[in-house]
Structure 1
Amino acid sequence: MKYIFLFLTLLLLSCQNDNPLDFFTQVNKLEKIEGKASYLDSPFLSAGKKLYVVGHQNGRFPDLGWHVEGEMGGVWLHPIKLLDGYHAEIKNNNGQECLTDAKRFFNYPVGSEQVFDLKNMGINVSQFHFVPENENGLIIAYQIENTKQVENKFQFTFNASIDLRPVWLSDSLEIEDGQDEGNWEKRHEIFVAKDNKNNWFTAFGGKGFEPSDSENSCKLKRKGQGFDQALNKTIELKANEVKTIYLVVSGSDKSEKSAINTHQYLSKNAEELLKAKIKTYHTIQENNNLVTRDQGFNQMYRWLKYNSQWLMQEVDGIGTGLTAGSPDYPWWFGTDNGYAVQGLLASGMHEQALQTIDLIAKLSEKANGATGKIMHEASTNGVIFNPGNLNTTPKFISMLWKAYAWTGDEKLLDYYSLVNNAVDWIESKDKDGNDYPDGAGMMEIHGLDSEMIDVVAYQYEMYLAAANFAKVQRDMVLVDEYLVKANKLKIKINADWWVDKFNSYADFRSTKAQALKLTEDAIIRADTIDKPWSVTELKNTLDTLKAQEIEGTAPFVVHHNWIVNTPMEVGAADKEKAEKALKTAENYSNRFGMFVTGIDRDEQQEEASKWKSFSYVGAVMTLPTGVQAIAEAKYGNADRALEYLKMLQNSFSYALPGSMYEVSPDFGMMTQAWNIYAVAVPVVEEFFGIQPKAWKNEILIKPNLPTEWTNVSLENIKIGNNKLDISIKRVNNILEFRISQLHNWKIIFDFSDAKNIIYDGNRIKGGKVELYDRLHNLKVEF
């Protein structure tokens, strides 16, 4: 399916012209999603790769976020902030109105729009935020309509809240935030502000605007070393006339000249910049495009790709990569990208995936040398906050192999030494010689420094990836070694980590004394947040533990964190155990998805302080739900997997239209990177069964479609330099396939339960066939 906004021929005039209709006429042809009135006083994000804007959908810019307290909103050009925010005021004979109470909000792939109805003034205003994809600036377009039958004259004022300040962890670089100062550059018609201790600059202005000394009637209290500056101009509109005016904001952490040059470039080239941005999103939509009969599901899949592009961030001198989430995590995470990059690969965003891999690898080497350890979290100024958790490294290595399989990029083989060093580093964390690394993984359990199931499951996955890398490098000794280790670990996972009484894999392995203490702590916590059913369940668990005779270390299911499902996610679970564990997991979900723990949580809007330490008690998160969908699909339960993805669909566009929060439905990050993993990987790799081998011009396809997907297609599947289209129709017990590809690669279709396959006039018994041509039609009988 093609969308009208992808084929626009834009006629946008220069920002130097007050053209009445062209800009918004074209914008209104773009795909958009309207927000809910009840969420107008919640955040939005408009982003390019270098600059982004975070404010509220109603037009306000309140202090926002907790990572840097109250400073995560505004206009950011990492590694510095330019503005705390901005807003317009309109004043005429009927009074004065601030554009801080929008009646409607629309989100677009390329920007966002707020609509203001100023009835008392006889004016309607639309404010559109547009961040050019690769520039250090922002264009704000205002379409103003005179609803009166007579001329309407008014003063338009643009108020900018300047706050040039550094990003998180800059104090470790001895960077000090100075007082901001500014002056009017009459020759350029812009106001330029500078931090008096650093070469940080912001410039803003528009045609015909001049500095204003008028009092800002909408001024909000805020922090920082900045100040407010207003610019205004007089506007006259004839009866029913519509006019568009533009403001441009630019910045630099290098020089005033750079900020001014960017401002001038954006002012003169808005048309081409918008065309370029639309082309970028056209490509994103077109690659690996999903078409089902469920338009809402298609939209979620499509917009999660757009969300990923919003989170791509390029910082001069550091690199380009996918950040974790907005507004509080606009920096880079090795852990999160171990998941998210797999989603980028499955959804056709290969360039973004490769850029992110390169950046994380460089930051990891900076933090940890050549040890193979992958860093967890780094600020956009290059400072490493956390050099790495135990689960980070093995998940990154398995992702690295996926990248090679999808792209065939030979440069990825340069990471072979990193792969081998990573294996050695993980194995070095086995303190007691039982083959399990000791320490926290994805979920840190307070007071426990023992073995976690996600670390072990991802270690198994890492061995398989390392064996694949070794095979490509013809290092057959290591191939055998890694495969032996993977098989041994798989056996041990099913023997040492399975807890039969709970029909679940354990959260952790520890001594009985540690497990009793953790369970007692969990009871207190559940009672504190008023969860009586959880208290009862945990007390039963405590009684069971007390009655057991346990010596040494043993597996325990206490919190039932989502990580207990990772053995199914990676395919390490025995089928019988997997079926039981997946059934158990159904008890820990609601209509939005899987809980982080087994403790339900109805109050989604608790104070932020309870979330800062990742103690997401009973939170319904997108990553665990995606992991569960992958796990169900991997063990043949496509229908149940689709049910979990529809739970995620309940969260899509819930608070921010076109986006999915980190914590369903409306808490945590309003846009989260790993959401693309949660949806694209089960859809592309499990439902359509795409298992690429781009390095050898080969593709294995093992479809496992949900029952209700009777007519679906995946278009422009990007694998290396090849592209495929797959369309599938189900008629009773027959699947009809049409497959086309750009190049004559080898395609292996594997239908394990098929009776016959009819292809290109041939009929064979069994469920496996190899194809080489560019176009094929198949019928598979079950």
Structure 2
Amino acid sequence: MKYIFLFISIFLISCQADNPSDFFTQVNQLENIKGKKEYIESPFLSAGRRLYVVGYQNGSFPDLGWHVKGEMGGVWLHPIKLLDGYHAEIKNNNIQECLTHANQFINYPIGSKQVFNLKESGLNVSQFHFVPENENGLIIAYQFENTQAKENQFTFSVNASIDLRPVWLADSLNIEDGKDEGEWKNRGSVYLAKDQNNNWFSVIGGKGFQLPELENSCKVKRKGKGFDQALSKSLTLEGGEKQTVFFIVSGSDKSEKAALQTHKYLSKNARQLLEDKIASYQKIEQSNNLITRDERFNQMYRWLKYNSEWLMQEVPEIGTGLTAGSPDYPWWFGTDNSYAVQGLLASGMHEQALETIDLIVKLSKKANGKNGRIMHEASTNGVVFNPGNLNTTPKFVSMLWKAFSWTGDKTLLKHYDLVKNSVEWMESQDQDGNGYPDGAGMMEIHGLDSEMIDVVAYQYEMYLAAANFAKVQNENVLADEYRLKAENLKKKINTDWWVNESNSFADFRSTQLQAVKLTEDAIIRADSINKPWSVAELKSTLTSINTTDTAGTSPFVVHHNWIVNTPMEVGVAEDEKAQKALHTAKNYRNQFGMFVTGIDRDEQQEKASKWKSFSYVGAVMTLPTGVQAIAEAKYGNPDKALEYLKMLQNSFSYALPGSMYEVSPDFGMMTQAWNIYAVAVPVVEEFFGIQPKAWKNEVVIKPNFPTEWKDVSLERIKIGDNLVDISAKRIDNVIKFRISQLHNWKIIFDFKGAKHIIYDGNKIKGSKVELYDRLHNLQVEF
């Protein structure tokens, strides 16, 4: 599967673009994953930087999503929506068939396809949609194949459910959704729709389409102030013939002229835009390309990179950045991206990472001024909904240091004042003066506004990052101060937060009275969802709390939230405590990964109603599973780390082919940004042991491979402007490495536990060597 797109690009050069059928020839040569029949009535996503489409895999567009109820599907050009959806219709004599019950859904990195076998009409129809990367439009290509030996004449119609409406939080900007109206533009063979209250425009049409003589009979009832508009054309196919027809959707939140110009450009350049998009995804594929003997694992890693690009959202007046997930979170999160951007960096997507960082900083300063607080959630119209959770700011600072380490981009140093202000802001949140910020982090426990373990663990990580920034800026006194704070906090985490009888770090610290109330509430909840084992466990915890005299605040393990594992994620836990805590965590997982809370543990997940509502009851989330994989690898357990990654693999392509849901295996967001963190960081930074120092033209490599990885490689690892290749082959207790690089950077190779290393004919006792040339062959005996 090496460089899957490569032969395609060669093929494209030789193609004759005059024949529209070449479009589908190109598409069909691409890597793809077929959907499962049982999930054909579930969502799909096809996206570009400016526009995306969300519908069902069967070709229908039902009301979808809960964040803006029923409105999260359709065609979105943020900060506005263009269409609630679209569907085609075939009329052949007295036969009428709606293309809303596809026989097959096929997903590609660059788009998606539905296949309809219309036996009554004697046609096979393929509907392929893709969004050109930087255009305000969508190209829908239809390929018609006459399955009969005789001539086949029919009328083809596309019905668009027009709904020009604003994105979430528009009311806070005094934007009011108006009634939509439209007119036929005969000169361009397009239909133009406009919102009466705003300069929002949507254009639909294609070569040869006209207003239909009869009303479309495949209409679907809609919410909102829009309307349905059909366009049609007559087609004739000889026996066995294929034809391709393009239908274009474009839009603008500025002017009619811009929407019409985009439509015209897309209509004339559909095949070239397809080739351009293939080329852009080829670059993503080749960068930090993983090859193991498990092709399905390679595929998961590769497609999570594609998923990340699907979630990149550009809004010209606001900025460009990675959104949190689809369909309900197509806006920007400081918290989610403090994880996800680390995955982008580890997987070679540095441009996307830097764009996202700049956007989050911009939105944070808009919401919080220069106080250093990082915002949590903002809509694509620029409105910040949540100015920032307590865990957001420290995680962002540590991510910022990783970005500098991977890219060496000195423009990131302009954020140094933000780093210092962020440290001060975090410290100011310590309301009772005990050294711990007070308030919720990743998990908000109802009724508790106290200290959470993830906040404190990430604060430790933040101090280390701030010390590194200070050192680079030659503020050595401040660097020492930050490092001392990190060391002091490390000691306190391992004493004040460890609960010995639970072999776990605490969820939270609180007074005894608060802990009793929270445990009683948890018992009621566990009983209401029929978790008798959890009720028994919590009653035992309650007895322990009531019989232990405590003054002030103390650590408690009540919910056993996944956040208790963050001390191992960041490496602050002492080894003995870490191994015990990691072992305890095994009690809170299933075949898909780590549960959100201990109450959730069960043999079967309890699902909410698919895709319409969402509950964390029984939730196995991808982020906690990734955190656990990182933690196991960081504490010398790569085999156990791989075990968790294979749990994630169990949910990859489960419902949406080529994607991984937020909550395993098939609810929540169908594509989720932080999944790239969950997989790429443990693979690249822990298994391959890449510790970049791009600003110094230096790389540290500390391999820590799982036992079953006997023949692996990571190609074109992007570190600054350098590219590094690493391959390893294991035979018994010997591993042969081949390391090459584009530039002559310093590479420190360190293999823990090695007896000796032979490199370039030299035998060195110990585990560490320094390499400077472009190519090295090493043999490690351990």
Q: Say if 1:553 and 1:12 are closer, same or farther in 2 by CA, change over 3 A.
A: farther
- Give the C-alpha shift of residue 568 in structure 1: 0.2
Please name the residue that 1:344 is paired with.
Answer: 344
Q: Say if 1:446 and 1:567 are closer, same or farther in 2 by CA, change over 3 A.
A: same
CA distance in 2, matches of 1:607, 1:516: 33
- Give the C-alpha shift of residue 610 in structure 1: 10
Please name the residue that 1:583 is paired with.
Answer: 583
Please name the residue that 2:86 is paired with.
Answer: 86
* Structure 1 SS opposite 2:197: coil
- Give the C-alpha shift of residue 214 in structure 1: 2.5
- Asked if 1:549 corresponds to 2:549, the answer is yes
CA distance in 2, matches of 1:12, 1:619: 50
* Structure 1 SS opposite 2:262: helix
CA distance in 2, matches of 1:444, 1:550: 24
CA distance in 2, matches of 1:67, 1:605: 18
- Give the C-alpha shift of residue 611 in structure 1: 6.5
Q: Say if 1:384 and 1:607 are closer, same or farther in 2 by CA, change over 3 A.
A: same
Matches within 5 A, 1:143-292: 143-212=143-212, 214-292=214-292
Matches within 5 A, 1:270-419: 270-419=270-419
CA distance in 1, matches of 2:429, 2:555: 19
Cα offsets for 1:614-640 (capped at 9, x unmatched): x62331000000000000000000000
Matches within 5 A, 1:429-440: 429-440=429-440
Does structure 2 conserve the Cα–Cα contact (< 8 Å) formed by 1:209 and 1:232? Answer: yes
* Structure 1 SS opposite 2:150: coil
Does structure 2 conserve the Cα–Cα contact (< 8 Å) formed by 1:324 and 1:336? Answer: yes
Cα offsets for 1:700-752 (capped at 9, x unmatched): 11110000000000000000000000000111111110000000000001122
- Give the C-alpha shift of residue 215 in structure 1: 2.7
CA distance in 2, matches of 1:244, 1:54: 23
Does structure 2 conserve the Cα–Cα contact (< 8 Å) formed by 1:561 and 1:598? Answer: yes
CA distance in 2, matches of 1:568, 1:501: 18
Does structure 2 conserve the Cα–Cα contact (< 8 Å) formed by 1:12 and 1:270? Answer: no
Cα offsets for 1:188-237 (capped at 9, x unmatched): 11000000000000001011110125233222221111000000111111
* Structure 2 SS opposite 1:394: helix
TM-score, normalised to structure 1, is 0.98
- Give the C-alpha shift of residue 609 in structure 1: 11
- Give the C-alpha shift of residue 603 in structure 1: 4.3
2:608 to 606, 609, 621: 606
Does structure 1 conserve the Cα–Cα contact (< 8 Å) formed by 2:65 and 2:611? Answer: no
Does structure 1 conserve the Cα–Cα contact (< 8 Å) formed by 2:288 and 2:718? Answer: yes
CA distance in 2, matches of 1:231, 1:475: 66
Please name the residue that 1:126 is paired with.
Answer: 126
Does structure 1 conserve the Cα–Cα contact (< 8 Å) formed by 2:607 and 2:617? Answer: no
- Give the C-alpha shift of residue 14 in structure 1: 11
2:12 to 10, 13, 26: 10
CA distance in 2, matches of 1:65, 1:617: 19
CA distance in 1, matches of 2:392, 2:85: 36
Does structure 2 conserve the Cα–Cα contact (< 8 Å) formed by 1:13 and 1:23? Answer: no
- Give the C-alpha shift of residue 2 in structure 1: 2.6
Amino acid of the structure 2 residue aligned with 1:764: I
* Structure 1 SS opposite 2:480: helix
- Give the C-alpha shift of residue 537 in structure 1: 1.3
Matches within 5 A, 1:18-167: 19=19, 21-167=21-167
Q: Say if 1:625 and 1:309 are closer, same or farther in 2 by CA, change over 3 A.
A: same
Q: Say if 1:331 and 1:475 are closer, same or farther in 2 by CA, change over 3 A.
A: same
Does structure 2 conserve the Cα–Cα contact (< 8 Å) formed by 1:604 and 1:667? Answer: no
- Asked if 1:761 corresponds to 2:753, the answer is no
Matches within 5 A, 1:693-712: 693-712=693-712
- Give the C-alpha shift of residue 6 in structure 1: 3.3
Does structure 2 conserve the Cα–Cα contact (< 8 Å) formed by 1:48 and 1:131? Answer: yes
Does structure 1 conserve the Cα–Cα contact (< 8 Å) formed by 2:605 and 2:619? Answer: no
Cα offsets for 1:564-586 (capped at 9, x unmatched): 00000000000000000000000
Amino acid of the structure 1 residue aligned with 2:29: K
- Asked if 1:485 corresponds to 2:491, the answer is no
Amino acid of the structure 2 residue aligned with 1:10: L
Q: Say if 1:310 and 1:439 are closer, same or farther in 2 by CA, change over 3 A.
A: same
* Structure 2 SS opposite 1:743: coil
Please name the residue that 2:674 is paired with.
Answer: 674
CA distance in 2, matches of 1:176, 1:759: 69
Tell me which moved more, 268-277 or 191-200.
268-277
TM-score, normalised to structure 2, is 0.98
* Structure 2 SS opposite 1:134: coil
Cα offsets for 1:645-692 (capped at 9, x unmatched): 000000000000000000000010000000000000000000000000
Does structure 1 conserve the Cα–Cα contact (< 8 Å) formed by 2:372 and 2:425? Answer: yes
Cα offsets for 1:78-112 (capped at 9, x unmatched): 00000000000001125100000000000000000
Please name the residue that 2:655 is paired with.
Answer: 655
Does structure 2 conserve the Cα–Cα contact (< 8 Å) formed by 1:3 and 1:31? Answer: no
- Asked if 1:692 corresponds to 2:692, the answer is yes
* Structure 2 SS opposite 1:474: coil
- Give the C-alpha shift of residue 773 in structure 1: 0.3
* Structure 2 SS opposite 1:747: strand
* Structure 1 SS opposite 2:177: coil
CA distance in 1, matches of 2:561, 2:678: 17
Matches within 5 A, 1:513-528: 513-528=513-528
Q: Say if 1:689 and 1:499 are closer, same or farther in 2 by CA, change over 3 A.
A: same
CA distance in 2, matches of 1:734, 1:389: 47
Count of matched residue pairs: 778
Does structure 2 conserve the Cα–Cα contact (< 8 Å) formed by 1:370 and 1:418? Answer: yes
- Give the C-alpha shift of residue 3 in structure 1: 3.6
- Give the C-alpha shift of residue 604 in structure 1: 4.3
* Structure 1 SS opposite 2:598: coil
* Structure 2 SS opposite 1:212: coil
Amino acid of the structure 1 residue aligned with 2:12: L
- Asked if 1:644 corresponds to 2:644, the answer is yes
Please name the residue that 2:505 is paired with.
Answer: 505
Q: Say if 1:14 and 1:420 are closer, same or farther in 2 by CA, change over 3 A.
A: farther
Tell me which moved more, 535-544 or 558-567.
535-544
Does structure 2 conserve the Cα–Cα contact (< 8 Å) formed by 1:398 and 1:462? Answer: yes
Q: Say if 1:656 and 1:12 are closer, same or farther in 2 by CA, change over 3 A.
A: farther
* Structure 2 SS opposite 1:10: helix
CA distance in 2, matches of 1:610, 1:43: 11
- Give the C-alpha shift of residue 13 in structure 1: 9.3
Amino acid of the structure 1 residue aligned with 2:282: H
CA distance in 2, matches of 1:745, 1:608: 51
CA distance in 2, matches of 1:223, 1:610: 16
CA distance in 1, matches of 2:743, 2:15: 41
Please name the residue that 1:771 is paired with.
Answer: 771
Amino acid of the structure 2 residue aligned with 1:541: T
Does structure 1 conserve the Cα–Cα contact (< 8 Å) formed by 2:64 and 2:611? Answer: no
Does structure 2 conserve the Cα–Cα contact (< 8 Å) formed by 1:340 and 1:673? Answer: yes
Does structure 2 conserve the Cα–Cα contact (< 8 Å) formed by 1:14 and 1:271? Answer: no
Identical-pair percentage: 75
Does structure 2 conserve the Cα–Cα contact (< 8 Å) formed by 1:12 and 1:22? Answer: no
